Amino acid sequence: MTKQPAYPSGFKVAQPPFGGLPVLLAPMAGITDLPFRRVVAGFGAGLVVSEMVASAELLTARPSARARAELGLGEGATAVQLAGREAGAMAEAARMLEGQGARIIDINMGCPAKKVTSGWSGSALMREPDHALRLIEAVRGAVSVPVTLKMRLGWDEGCLNAPELAVRAEGAGVSMITVHGRTRCQFYRGAADWAAIAAVVRAVSVPVVANGDIIDASTARAALAASGAAAVMVGRGARGRPWVLASIAAGLGLMPLPDIPHGAQRAALVAAHYDAILSFYGRELGLRVARKHLGWYLDAAAEGGAEGRAIPSDLRRAILTADTPARVMALMADALSGVPSLPARAQAA
């Protein structure tokens, strides 16, 4: 189920302990699953974070083999992100995860989704700092691995309490704090306010990670300069561009430029990722999950600087409905090289 796919040569899978790069992959439910995290880690990332897992779910349902694998417990440089509202359940879930090999437990106080905040977890916890603290203390007290926290600037403009919560969280023993530079009520609207993260940086001595709208080395530099943060975390900017964290680290002068695959090499990378998705989820679900990533790879190719080109819609459709890695690779090679080889297109030519 979690077999390592055949990535193109030059691609390395990060081994524990991680390289310590201050460029981290954000948790994104439905996106940063184990296959994607491995692709990103293969290029280089300081840390990747599992998709959020609800403590109550971990404790009550017996997680499937896939759900357990998804947590990446045996993987280097992976934090497992826990969400929840009950201190006891959070502590028990954290203890269980540590027992199963989690190296870092991240607590989610940033998720704005209604289905999460309506249960008063995720970013809703920022409205109840006393309760949030009890959760952090319970988790901290339950495990000996590092506990980290991810949050937003606050609930809304009238409640920008990230610095205050950060100070209390540091007092409770968290090792690192990531701040998405928006309030919960902004969801993803507007621009992330990196300068507002500076108040958190000034308030604590643990490393603070700046997050929100960081998509390349220049936005990373701007976010670091405005916030004074120790590291950046990249979410949406990595979709279809799994090398972007390594590119950012290189742009910050921290590692050599990654070998960003182009043309046939890019097609091989996409096919290997696709293969990994199918083998992780099984064919039926895998085809659906893969489609999102294929779309992002195509978007990235279309935007891709010098090699950017619009992908013809019939070719795009064929890629999104392909059902084998070989087919994806052949079609992707067409899309990335601009040489059409779809039968219909070949006939038309």
- Report in angstroms how near the CB of residue 121 gets to ligand FMN at its nearest: 11
CA proximity to 204, closest of 228, 170, 179: 170
DSSP H or E run through 263: helix 263-281
Torsional class of 101: left (φ above 0), alpha (ψ -120 to 50), beta (otherwise)? left
- Contact residue for ligand FMN among 212, 240, 242, 251 (CB under 6 A): 212
Select the residue whose beta carbon is closest to ligand FMN and give its number: 235
Task: Candidates 23-31, 167-175, 278-286, 288-296: pick the segment binding ligand FMN (CB under 6 A).
Answer: 23-31
SS (H, E, C) 5-57: CCCCCCCCCCCCCCCCCCEEECCCCCCCCHHHHHHHHHHCCCEEECCCEEHHH
By C-beta, is 111 or 198 nearer to ligand FMN? Answer: 111
- Contact residue for ligand FMN among 21, 23, 31, 201 (CB under 6 A): 31
SS (H, E, C) 137-195: HHHHHHCCCCEEEEEEEECCCCCCCHHHHHHHHHHCCCCEEEEEEEEHHHCCCCCCCHH
- Report in angstroms how near the CB of residue 28 gets to ligand FMN at its nearest: 4
By C-beta, is 237 or 261 nearer to ligand FMN? Answer: 237
By C-beta, is 98 or 213 nearer to ligand FMN? Answer: 213
- Report in angstroms how near the CB of residue 37 gets to ligand FMN at its nearest: 13
Total residues in contact with ligand FMN, by rule CB under 6 A: 22
Amino acid making up residue 78:
T
Q: Which of residues 220-259 bind ligand FMN (CB under 6 A)?
A: 234-237
Alpha-carbon gap, residue 126 to 41, rounded angstroms: 31
Q: Which of residues 313-342 bind ligand FMN (CB under 6 A)?
A: none
Q: Which of residues 39-98 bind ligand FMN (CB under 6 A)?
A: 51-52, 81
For 58, the token pair is 């971990």
Does the protein bind ligand FMN through residue 108 (CB under 6 A)?
Answer: yes
By C-beta, is 107 or 201 nearer to ligand FMN? Answer: 107
Percent helix, strand and coil across the chain, each rounded to 5? 50, 15, 40
- Report in angstroms how near the CB of residue 233 gets to ligand FMN at its nearest: 7
By C-beta, is 150 or 184 nearer to ligand FMN? Answer: 150
Draw the binding track, 110-129, toward ligand FMN (x: CB under 6 A; -: no contact). Answer: xx------------------
- Report in angstroms how near the CB of residue 115 gets to ligand FMN at its nearest: 12
CA proximity to 182, closest of 200, 169, 196, 168: 196
Judge whether 159 counts as a catalytic residue.
Answer: no
List 24, 25, 111, 294, catalytic entry:
111
- What is the DSSP track for 328-343? HHHHHHHHHHT----H
- Contact residue for ligand FMN among 3, 9, 17, 30 (CB under 6 A): 30
CA proximity to 252, closest of 279, 223, 286: 223
**Residue 115, C-beta contacts closer than 8 angstroms, at least 6 positions apart:** none
Binding site for ligand FMN (CB under 6 A): 26-31, 51-52, 81, 108, 110-111, 150, 180, 211-214, 234-237
Active-site residue numbers? Answer: 111
